[in-house]
Amino acid sequence: MLLLGIILFGMLVGAAAQLIVGRSARGVEWGSALVAGILGSFLGGLLASLIAGDGLAFRLSGIIGSLVGAIIVVLVLQGWRGRKVVSRRSPSG
């Protein structure tokens, strides 16, 4: 049950991060939302909780940190995908 909660929380945080970054015009990509949410939760949430002195408890600082971490992961994924598309194009002429 805990694993299901982690997955759902990750998807929600990842979807929120995509909407904040500006993906709302294209909709939410649930696969990358899951990746961004889970990675962002582990990276940002853990770091924010430890900095705030909450330890590993479920607190507001961890939720905010999860969202910030997910936003960073979404931006990195977008940059990586953009670079991948640009490198595939051949120079015309």
Note the pLDDT tens digit of each residue in 35-90: 888 888 888 777 777 777 766 666 666 778 888 889 998 898 888 877 665 555 55
Say if residue 16's pLDDT is above 60.
Answer: yes
Sort 70 into a burial class: Cβ within 10 Å, 0-12 / 13-18 / 19+.
buried
CB-based contact 66:37 (threshold 8 Å): yes
Pick 93 or 45 by higher pLDDT: 45
CA 17 to chain centre: 6
